[in-house]
Amino acid sequence: MRVAVLGAGAIGAYVGASLHRAGAEVHLIARGPHLEALRRNGVQVLSPRGDFSVRPHATDDPTEVGPVDHIFLGLKANSYAAAGSMIRPLLHEKTTIIAAQNGIPWWYFHGLAGAHEDHCIQSVDPGGAVTEALSLHRAIGCVVYAATELEAPGVVRHLEGTRFSIGEPDGSLSERCREFSDAMVAGGLKCPVESDLRPEIWIKLMGNIAFNPISALTRATLAGMCRHRDVRELVTTMMRETLEVAAGLGCHPDIAIERRMAGAERTGEHKTSTLQDLEKGKPLELDVLLAAVVELADLAGVAAPTLRTINALADLLNQQIEDAASGAPSVAAAPAS
Q: Which residues are catalytic?
A: 204
For residue 110, the one-letter residue type is H
Output the CA–CA distances (angstroms, integers) from residue 71 to 2, 138, 140, 173, 337, in the order listed: 9, 10, 10, 19, 51
Using left for φ > 0, alpha for ψ between -120 and 50, and beta otherwise, residue 153 falls in beta
DSSP class per residue in 230-244: HHHHHHHHHHHHHHH
Going by C-alpha positions, the residue among 136, 159, 129 that lies closest to residue 146 is 159
Strand-strand pairing, 147-152 and 155-160: antiparallel
- Cα 257 from Cα 171, distance rounded (Å): 26
Q: If DSSP codes are grouped into helix, strand and coil, which group holds residue 85?
A: helix
- DSSP conformation class of 116: T
Going by C-alpha positions, the residue among 253, 128, 144, 280 that lies closest to residue 196 is 253
Q: What are phi and psi of 181, to 5 degrees?
A: -60, -45
Output the CA–CA distances (angstroms, integers) from residue 206 to 13, 103, 227, 275, 317, in the order listed: 26, 9, 18, 17, 21
- Cα 241 from Cα 246, distance rounded (Å): 9
